[in-house]
Amino acid sequence: MADNRLAHIDAGQASEEQKKVIARLGEGRGRIPTPFNIWLHNPRLAEGMEIIGTHVDASPVLSEAESEVAILSTAVFWNAPYVIANHRRHALKSGVPEAVVTAIIDRRRPEGVGRLGLICDAVSDILAGGAIDDARFSRYETGLGRAVIAELLVTIGYFTSISLGMTLHALEPKD
């Protein structure tokens, strides 16, 4: 059923605007990541998402493990099985302890893992949608810094779009 909803863009039949984005994806990533099969139907949107996604993939302020914790936490919040399965593997490969990955998937905040736990807390608070009180904001500002807070906002937004898109298009997790 998964591929029934996802309409892949054939690079040979793509519009000029689509071909430009496909070329940039090839340069930056060497492939067309699955979500771009959704976004390429709107090439201007795909162009912007490529810029954001390439930035998130090579975050200058988050380690790979920290990025994966934020991504996995976002995917779990949106109950996105495809993204959860994919980024569970990436998180473990990047060095996130299995206990932390399991806690995130079980919707528990991991205890005693320092900065990774603080990132989980920040992502949970941001996605909760309510006002974050001054004490919690100060904890994130002191423990992570404003550059990381900004990075988390972009990562959460980008992977919210991916999570919703993969679920809307009924993509099944890869084994």
Does the pLDDT of residue 2 top 60, yes or no? no
Residue 92 contacts residue 122 (beta carbons within 8 Å): no
Does the pLDDT of residue 4 top 80, yes or no? no
**What pLDDT was estimated at residue 1?**
42
Does the pLDDT of residue 112 top 80, yes or no? no
51-65: pLDDT as tens digits = 999 899 989 999 999
Biggest alpha carbon–alpha carbon distance for the chain = 54
- Identify the band that residue 32 occupies on the pLDDT scale cut at 50, 70 and 90: confident
**What pLDDT was estimated at residue 18?**
93
More confident position, 1 or 127: 127
Q: Which residues contact 25 (CB under 8 A, 6 or more apart)?
A: 31, 32, 33, 36, 50
72-111: pLDDT as tens digits = 999 999 999 999 999 999 999 999 999 999 999 999 988 8
How far, CA to CA in Å, does 52 sit from each of 25, 84, 117, 154?
A: 12, 20, 25, 8
More confident position, 173 or 52: 52
**What pLDDT was estimated at residue 175?**
64
115-165: pLDDT as tens digits = 999 999 999 999 998 889 999 999 999 999 999 999 999 999 999 999 999
Does the pLDDT of residue 28 top 80, yes or no? no
CA–CA separation, 166 vs 121, rounded Å?
25
